[in-house]
Amino acid sequence: MNAQAATGTTPGRLSSPMTGWVRFAAILLILAGAMNVIHGFTLLDHKHFVANQLDFANFTFWGVVFLIGGVVQIGAGVAVFGRRLIGYQVGVVLAIIAIVMWFLMIFGAPFGAMIGIIVNLCILYGLTVGAMDDWS
């Protein structure tokens, strides 16, 4: 009998209950991903909605970037709900990238940028400090 069959667990997956911060971070990852998917479709199909507010040179490129980023965020959120280590890792990396990107946009859209920074800081906290007992 191998170790996996004896313990009933799979490598890279937890069987203990999910903490509140981790659950909150997973929900925020999925919501942020959905918002990025919506933003990406808006940049691709309805450029006139954001043309006066944003100074992007190529809305098609940024629409695709937001679509891909949103899908990856949703996948990371689902993986965190499934207690997969890769979900935690991808979620942390995406939250750090998003914090930097929102910080760079703070003068163009200050209210939205502050909300984006706070949401991603909550994701970062939930997947690192909030999940400390999960992976130690």
Per-residue pLDDT of the chain (136 residues; tens, 9 = 90+): 455 555 555 555 556 677 788 999 999 999 999 988 888 888 788 766 665 655 566 778 888 888 999 999 999 999 999 889 899 999 999 999 988 888 877 876 788 789 988 999 999 999 998 777 766 6
What is the model's pLDDT at position 61? Answer: 84
Sign of the CA dihedral running 107, 109, 111, 115: negative
CA distance 3 to 56: 53
Q: 76 Cβ partners below 8 Å, 6+ apart?
A: 29, 33, 87, 90, 91, 94
Q: How confident is the model at residue 52, as a pLDDT?
A: 60
Q: What is the pLDDT of residue 118?
A: 93
**Count of all residues that appear for the chain in the document:** 136
Tokens for 64, please give them.
């695709």
CA nearest neighbour of 70 among 98, 96, 45: 98
| Residues paired with residue 13 on neighbouring β-strands, in sequence order | 84
pLDDT attached to residue 1: 47
